[in-house]
Amino acid sequence: MPPVVKIEEIHKIYDSGEIPVHAVRGVTLEIQRGDFVALMGASGSGKSTLMNLLGCLDRPTRGRYLLDGIDVSQLDRNALADIRNQKLGFVFQGFNLLARTTALENVELPMLYGARKFTTKQIRERAMHCLDIVGLSQRFDHFPSQLSGGQQQRVAIARALVNEPQVLLADEPTGNLDTRTSAEVMGVFQKLNDEGITIVMVTHELDIAHFCKRNLILRDGVMVRDEAVSNRSFAASELEKLSSAEAAAKLTGAKS
């Protein structure tokens, strides 16, 4: 089977400022269907730039990008928008939900912009199903301000899933979350990945990267390491460990 993501010698140079910034310097990469990749690297190493390229939010300065067999490096604005809508799902560090809009309506949003036409009922059912996958179907009528960070991120994941994308892209999805909710979100990702969804995520936390199957390390815009994760963490057991640690903390707290 051909790789779902295939980039060849891709470069990105920002020349909006006084001196051009060469943020991505010739990255070549293949990601197979069903893979679960963590992209790591120091701040400023070009992780977000590469994610924006993978997410078709930006065009490479040089190089070729084949997404699901389609060369997207030369597509125009609207064609890229359609690719983002149909083939990709995004999860951002800052959740980026529409304020004062219910969880359900947030999840429905990508379906409204799609080329495929759905009835209002179909849209509603599909969005509810995705909220169910992330375990938030009871809170469908809550506004983002009424949800915790972890819940907001799960709504964002449901939104990313609603158009059944080929690849789920997440730029530091746990960056704003504490350890427990991070593990919960990673649990959702692992569940989705088990069901066959390809996931690429950025993180700078090693223990988060260990939930993935494959780790990539970027330094100054160059891919310096690409390796499979040997001692993979699993959300269920990590959460159990966290619970017992917390219980222990409480016990010691009670004794003293």
Ligand X SMILES: Nc1ncnc2c1ncn2[C@@H]1O[C@H](COP(=O)(O)OP(=O)(O)O)[C@@H](O)[C@H]1O
Interface ranges with another protein (CB under 8 A): 52, 55, 57-58, 77-78, 81-82, 84-86, 90, 92, 96-101, 109-110, 112-114, 117, 159, 163
* DSSP structural state of residue 250: H
> HSE on the CB side for 100, CA within 13 Å?
0
CB-based contacts of 160, cutoff 8 Å, min separation 6:
89, 90, 91, 168, 170
Amino acid at 171: D
Amino acid at 58: D
16 binds ligand X (CB under 6 A): yes
1-9, 41-49, 89-97, 183-191 -> range binding ligand X (CB under 6 A): 41-49
User: Nearest CA to 12 among 29, 25, 31?
Assistant: 25
User: Nearest CA to 156 among 179, 177, 183, 134?
Assistant: 134
* Ranges within 35-54 binding Mg ion (CB under 5 A): 48
The one of Mg ion, ligand X, another protein, none whose footprint includes residue 46, by CB under 5 to 8 A per kind, is: ligand X
47-55, 70-78, 90-98, 137-145 -> range binding ligand X (CB under 6 A): 47-55
2 binds ligand X (CB under 6 A): no
The smaller minimum CB distance to another protein, of residues 161 and 216, is found at 161
Chain contacts with ligand X (rule: CB under 6 A): 14, 16-17, 21, 23, 41, 43-49
